[in-house]
Amino acid sequence: MKTIVRWTLLLLLLAAPATAGAQADSVSVREVAERIEKEARKHLGKRYRYGANGPEVFDCTGFTRYVYGKLGYNLSRSARDQAHDGRPVAMADLQKGDILVFGARGDKRHPGHAGIFLGRDSTGTNYRFIHACRRGVIISDRKESYYVERYLGARRILPDFPEETPPEMPDFLLETPLALPDTVFFVRTEALKTPLL
């Protein structure tokens, strides 16, 4: 019997590091998006050069490809091809990490530039994105006229963020009597009413 117990403990100890590692590697989609932003921000201020792939010098799609590549994603190399990577997403549904595609300098109707969506302002009418442009790796606003005129769409590479739903109310709280002097109320939270009984 002691031998069986020893072998069982030994097997559990050997399996424990693998289990712990698997849990440590499991991260949410939001965490991956945060890591993309963190990696992208590391390169703020780096120089731009057409055709450059990083890590010290970038062009726009060299930058997006490099950042995503650091997290194990393989994006296409050109803006035209990145405009087809992942799946399309409406401007109203943008989430951190989405690839924004803009028209080229010479022809606004054809993809020529890309950046990474970072988030909206508190009003929801403006957003910020990080990208490599002639000024280097910078953060820009959607409201800059150059980008307003050239916005072609966005592509989602990561899975969608899960919907944030409020936690369910435990059953014992659905009908809880509240005792007040000379009166008893039943609060029915599912109907959001407080009827007098």
Structural domains of the chain, with CATH: 26-156 (3.90.1720.10), 166-197 (no CATH)
Averaged pLDDT score across all residues of the chain = 81
Listed in sequence order, the DSSP H helices in 42-117 are 60-70, 79-82
Q: How confident is the model at residue 125 (pLDDT cuts 50, 70, 90)?
A: confident
- Mean pLDDT of the 43-52 span: 98
Write down the pTM of the prediction.
Answer: 0.71
Q: Is 8 exposed, middle or buried (0-12, 13-18, 19+ CB in 10 A)?
A: exposed
- Mean pLDDT of the 151-155 span: 97
Q: What percent of the chain has pLDDT over 90?
A: 63
- β-partners of residue 193 are 188
Q: How confident is the model at residue 26 (pLDDT cuts 50, 70, 90)?
A: confident
d(CA 111, CA 153): 9
Q: Dihedral, CA atoms, 75, 76, 78, 84, nearest 10 degrees?
A: -90
